[in-house]
Each structure stands twice: as structure tokens, then as C-alpha cells.
């Protein structure tokens, strides 16, 4: 290997963040979001370093649905790179590396827990709401008569309702707690300039009081760990006391509508 090659290899390994990422990816296949959670670093920063590691031939990625999983590419690494990496790996005793390793089990447990119904049908949710999709036919008929203003769609799923309603709104904000579902919604709704898709918790919404004209929780309370808190947050964000609706389909009834009382 010539001097330029050695210099390039040394530059890759000279960054502490890249060493942390490689140490993690040597043991587990992880997404950007999971690496961010483990290292406590912003996702854009993690993505930047992963790109450099991939360019250097040290990591590979694979797609699974809307997610990309990264792994240390041991099969493709050059002998000189492997020797250099082993020297760094065995000679490093840093608290950050130990903390990263300790966080891995919890992140993997969260991944397993997140393989829920919403994730399994992300990008295809409209076929699973109701037989015959009667709700969609009714919505397409009624929506041209409405102008809902600024809309907040809580637990918005992969954007089925947003796709119908956003053309009639001034601004449409989707919030969902699943990164996979958020990614599917972003892809589905990217053609709408007035739509914003965000990852967030329905129990602690990151919006100011009375900042939306209409707030919708379409089947959201089914997934709420604290339904009363979720309803209170929806009401707080709604400017009108009669424009916060929470349709839900529990096992014992067909639909429940809640309207907050004006104070």
C-alpha cells in the first residue's frame, strides 16, 4: 500500500465517532436511528460518518422495508485495514465504548417491541381499516365541501387520511411514534407541499396551544398508553372547542366521538 492509501485509512480511523460506530457494527446490524439512540448523537451526524465508513469499504448496508441496516463489512476489508482496526479495537479502553455496548440490548429490545401492527402494514394501511373501505368513499364525497384550515393528524399512520384531507387544508401536520411508519408517510405524501410529517409522542405534542383549526386522532387511542393524556394534548393544540375528533373502533362498539368542552 502506498502512502496515499495509508493516509486515507488513518484518516478514517482517526475520528472517535467512527471508531464508536465501527465497534457497534462489528457486533450488531443497526439502523441510523438505533445508532443515534445508542451513541446519543444526532442522526445527521451518524449518517455522515456512516457514509464515510461505507466509502472506505468498512461497512455495508441492506434495505428492509423503509429501513436501512448497517453492518461491519468484515469480508471486504483489506488486510492492512483489518490489522489497523484490530490494533485500535484491542487497544482501546474508553468509557464511551463501554456505555455504547451497555445500551445495545435495550435498543434491540425496542426494535423487537416496535414490530407492531402499524409497522407491519406501513405503506398499505388503507386496505386494513375496514372491509370495502367505506370510510374512504364517504371522505372523498364530503371533503370537497370542507376547508379545515390547519390540521394536526395524530397517530397519522402512513398518511392515508392525510392523502385525502391535505388537498383541502392550508397546512397539514402528521405525527406518529413509529420511525418506520413516518418514513412510509413521508414517501407517500412528498408530493404535497403543505404537508409535514414528524415523529412524535401523542402524549406530549411539540406544538403551541391552539395552533391548529382541526385535530384528528384517527383510531389513535387504541395505541395510547394514557388515553386521557392523549386527548388532553389534542384539545390543547386545537383552537376550536368543537373541532377535535377522536374516532376509534374498540371491540365493543363501532365509533366513539369526543369533543372537548370550551372553557
Sorting pLDDT into bands at 50, 70 and 90, what band is 64? confident
Map out the domains of the chain as residue ranges: 3-113, 125-245
Q: Which pLDDT belongs to residue 66? A: 62
What pLDDT is recorded for position 6? Answer: 56
Residues 6+ apart with CB under 8 A from 5: 80
| CA–CA gap between residue 45 and residue 237 (Å, rounded) | 32
pLDDT tops 90 at residue 39: yes
Contact (Cβ atoms closer than 8 angstroms) between residue 241 and residue 259 = yes
Stronger pLDDT, 218 or 4, i.e. the higher one: 218
Bigger pLDDT: 262 vs 47: 47
Instruction: State the pLDDT at residue 258.
Output: 40
pLDDT at residue 122, rounded to an integer = 56
The sign of the torsion formed by the CA atoms of 146, 149, 153, 154 equals negative
Q: Region 179-189: what's the mean pLDDT?
A: 90
Residue 21 pLDDT > 80, yes or no? yes
pTM higher than the cut 0.75? no
130 pLDDT band (50/70/90 cuts)? very low
pLDDT tens by residue, 223-262: 777 888 989 999 999 988 777 777 654 433 333 334 444 3
pLDDT at 107: 86
pLDDT of residue 126: 54
Specify the higher pLDDT residue, 141 or 201.
201
Q: Which residues have CB under 8 Å from 29's CB, separation 6+?
A: 62, 69, 70, 71
Say which CATH topology domain 125-245 has. Answer: Rossmann fold (3.40.50)
Q: What is the pLDDT of residue 242?
A: 73
pLDDT at 164: 83
Does residue 149 have a pLDDT over 70? yes
Fold of 3-113: Arc Repressor Mutant, subunit A (1.10.10)
∠ CA 63-65-71, rounded to 5°: 30
Cα 170 off chain centre by? 24
**Residues 6 or more apart whose Cβ sits within 8 Å of residue 156:** 162, 174, 175, 176, 185, 197, 218
pLDDT score recorded for residue 207: 94
**The pLDDT of residue 208:** 94
Instruction: Tell me what pLDDT residue 123 has.
Output: 56
pLDDT tens-digit map of 72-128:
887 777 777 777 777 777 777 778 888 999 999 988 887 776 655 455 555 555 544
Compute the average pLDDT of residues 41-62.
90
Residues 215-226: pLDDT tens digits? 998 877 777 778
Amino acid at each position: 500500500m502506498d502512502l496515499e492509501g495509508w493516509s486515507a485509512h488513518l484518516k478514517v480511523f482517526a475520528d472517535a465517532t467512527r471508531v464508536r460506530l465501527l465497534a457497534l457494527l462489528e457486533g450488531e446490524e443497526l439502523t441510523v436511528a438505533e445508532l443515534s439512540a445508542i451513541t446519543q448523537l444526532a442522526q445527521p451526524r451518524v449518517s455522515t460518518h456512516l457514509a464515510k465508513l461505507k466509502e472506505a469499504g468498512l461497512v455495508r448496508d441492506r434495505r428492509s422495508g423503509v429501513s436501512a441496516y448497517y453492518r461491519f463489512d468484515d469480508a471486504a476489508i483489506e488486510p492492512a485495514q483489518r490489522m489497523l482496526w484490530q490494533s485500535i479495537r484491542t487497544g482501546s479502553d474508553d468509557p464511551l465504548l463501554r456505555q455504547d455496548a451497555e445500551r445495545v440490548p435495550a435498543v434491540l429490545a425496542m426494535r423487537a417491541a416496535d414490530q407492531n401492527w402499524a409497522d407491519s402494514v406501513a405503506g398499505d394501511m388503507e386496505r386494513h381499516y375496514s372491509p370495502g373501505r367505506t370510510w374512504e368513499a364517504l371522505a372523498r364525497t364530503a371533503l370537497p365541501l370542507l376547508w379545515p384550515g390547519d390540521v394536526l393528524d395524530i397517530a397519522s399512520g402512513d398518511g392515508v387520511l392525510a392523502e385525502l384531507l391535505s388537498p383541502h387544508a392550508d397546512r397539514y401536520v402528521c405525527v406518529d411514534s413509529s420511525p418506520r411508519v413516518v418514513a412510509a408517510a413521508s414517501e407517500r405524501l412528498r408530493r404535497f407541499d403543505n404537508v409535514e410529517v414528524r415523529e412524535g409522542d401523542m402524549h406530549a405534542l411539540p406544538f403551541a396551544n391552539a395552533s391548529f383549526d382541526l385535530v384528528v386522532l384517527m383510531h389513535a387511542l387504541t395505541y395510547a398508553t394514557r388515553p386521557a393524556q392523549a386527548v388532553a394534548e389534542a384539545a390543547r393544540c386545537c383552537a376550536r372547542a368543537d373541532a377535535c375528533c377522536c374516532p376509534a373502533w374498540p371491540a365493543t362498539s363501532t365509533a366513539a366521538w369526543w369533543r372537548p368542552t370550551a372553557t
